[in-house]
Amino acid sequence: MAAVVIGACSTDSGAKKDKGKFVNTEVKYNPSMGNLWDIIAEKFNSKRSAAEPAGEVPLKSMSKSGLESSDEDAIYRLGHSTILMRLNGEYVMTDPVFSERASPVQWAGPKRFHPTPISIEELPEIKIVIISHDHYDHLDKSAIKKLASKVQHFVTPLKVGDYLIDWGVESSKVTQLDWWDEVELNGIKLVATPAQHFSGRSLFDRDQTLWASWVIQSDKRNLYFSGDGGYFNGFKEIGDKYGPFDVTMIETGAYNDLWADIHMLPEHSMQAHLDLKGKAMLPIHNGTFDLSMHDWFEPFEKITELAKNNNVNLLTPVFGEEVNLADPISHYAWWHEAQETEESKLALQQ
């Protein structure tokens, strides 16, 4: 049965275009060659002690039988911005990236720090896969092709679904939404909400597909998934319209002052959570790939301190760990363990 899309209400408007390209509501992100040289210089001159984990990233292995042994609403962080949710006994997944590298090729580009805690083959049937935008660390062609047979619905921003159809997903399974559009599938309501970002998978297709954040609602839960983006007034608008949220899954990683307009700094991530009226915050977009110039664990340290200062319930589960949505609690600083080497462990024992 085809999904029925509910268009934006009269007080809202969808995404705008300029010269055939989608644009943000508050900033025009159009980096120049000067910006590129600034980024190259920053990369060359940056001094960091840990671009990647020194030790093994702790994981909790997952299985289909383990997942299906419970019907309680829960979320599982699989890596980067890939989240598996169980809502009303059905499974919803965001931005499934399972490849070894977040790159157009698998022989170069950012490499994973850790394997996924569950394989695509071991996953249960997925009712809905949500895509936030078309960048390689969020839209993984290989994963989409493998998931196609076990996913009932794919929901994307405008034009992103065209990629999926080109890759062999049945068009009847793909629903594409503009900002503020809504769709209800299997008792789960999805709203494509604005984000401040950009799109493109090559040098020649900049901003030809839309990017979005997502409101995810069941009869018991109200969740928010940020996708990627810079801080903007839209967070407060979304919070006023759809909040408060039980959990906000907010981008907190791969940031830098040079591109703060389209990737939030940690203090921006915290303010976004507060604007959204979130009850608990799960920082995402970190811990899996090296996509910036900060130490790999820095986002966790900074957002932990900000959460303490703002009395925010911060969720930092080990990859694969279940977070029960009836009482979301997980405060384990697992990244400290991932910084331990065999030498440091031996030194502590002596």
> In b/e form, how buried is each residue of 144-158, taking b as 16+ CB within 10 angstroms?
bebbbeebebbbbbb
Nearest to 27 by CA among 192, 319, 264: 264
In one letter, which amino acid is 119? S
**Is residue 8 domain-resident?**
no
Q: For 328-341, what is each residue's pLDDT tens digit?
A: 999 899 999 999 86
Q: 240-284, pLDDT tens digit by residue? A: 999 999 999 999 999 999 999 999 999 999 999 999 999 999 999
pLDDT digits (tens, 9 = 90+) for 274-320: 999 999 999 999 999 999 999 999 999 999 999 999 999 999 999 99
Q: Is residue 55 part of a domain?
A: no
Task: Give residue 258's domain range.
Answer: 64-343
pTM to 2 decimals?
A: 0.94
Q: What is the DSSP letter of 149?
A: G
Question: What is the helix, strand, coil percentage profile of the chain, to 5?
Answer: 25, 25, 50
Whether 235 maps to a domain, the answer reads yes
What is the CATH number for 118?
A: 3.60.15.10
Mean pLDDT, the chain, rounded, equals 92
Cis bond before residue 244 (omega within 30° of 0): yes
101-111 pLDDT, tens digit per residue, is 999 999 999 99
Give the total number of structural domains in the chain: 1
Amino acid 78 reads L
pLDDT tens string 37-69: 555 556 666 778 899 999 999 999 999 999 999
Q: Is residue 334 part of a domain?
A: yes
Tokens of 116: 């996924």
Share of the chain above pLDDT 70, in %: 90
Q: Which of 154, 186, 183 is nearest to 171 (CA)?
A: 154
